[in-house]
Amino acid sequence: MNQPRILQVRTKILKANDETARAMRQRFESLGLLVVNMVSSPGTGKTALLRETLIRLSHRGVKVAAVVGDLETDNDARRLATSGAPVRQILTHGLCHLEAAMVDEHLKGWDLAELQILFIENVGNLVCPTSWDLGESVRVALLSVTEGEDKPLKYPGLFNTADLAVITKIDLAGPCEFDGDCARANIESVRPGMPILEVSVKTGAGIDAWIDDLLERRSSAHRQTLTDCG
């Protein structure tokens, strides 16, 4: 009997989140700021990849920052801070996803006009973050070779709403007997035409392609801002 009421409340909450996210996106776009929402299950190497990304982009003169969501502890934020980039931790205290208002609150005090790429490391979860728009420019779905090839089929919601898929830890593909062709076919079946990258933070394989993809997306966002202003 309570089901309709629960649905009404959830719809209202999601609507409020979407309104906040829309305002955030407009602000980000006006600044030419690329915002990357990274989503995956726990253990995919998301933090390791982001740390390496912050280091490499900073070395290339790109102004970057990150906010990271976790249920508890600031472990990931401390790891990311060793990159030298500005980092802030969001603790959800049991909530399995980030919401737009949380991100907006933790951006206060940062001069976003000084940034070029902002990363959001979402809470490790393949289901809950899917429904929550954070005002991002691009949503990245990460899949580790240790998880198996069928994750896109089991969790189509995430991959269907993503703009880019990244397969991580490819240095372990052999020992894990990971079938890359099967994984890519599964991603393609859920999200036809979505770009797919393969990376290994340990060996460096694919990292340059990942960085180049980010820089191209940032350049496109910047060009769009100049066009809109013109």
The enclosing domain of 165 has a CATH number of: 3.40.50.300
Report yes or no: 139 and 34 within 8 Å, Cβ to Cβ. no
CA R_g for the chain: 17
Question: To which H or E segment does residue 168 belong?
Answer: strand 164-168
Percent of the chain at pLDDT above 70?
93
| Backbone angle region of 45, left / alpha / beta, with phi > 0 → left and psi within -120 to 50 → alpha | left
pLDDT of residue 2: 54
Q: How many domains does the chain have?
A: 1
Q: What's the gap between Cα 224 and its chain centre?
A: 21
pLDDT of residue 137: 97
Mean pLDDT throughout 20-49?
97
In terms of pTM, does the model score above 0.85? yes
Which of 208, 56, 224 lies closest to 137, judged by CA? Answer: 224
Q: At what angle do helices 207-229 and 46-59 cross, to 10 degrees?
A: 60
pLDDT of residue 1: 47
Q: Domain residues for 26?
A: 3-229
Which of 152, 173, 168 lies closest to 51, judged by CA? Answer: 168
Q: What is the mean pLDDT of the chain?
A: 93
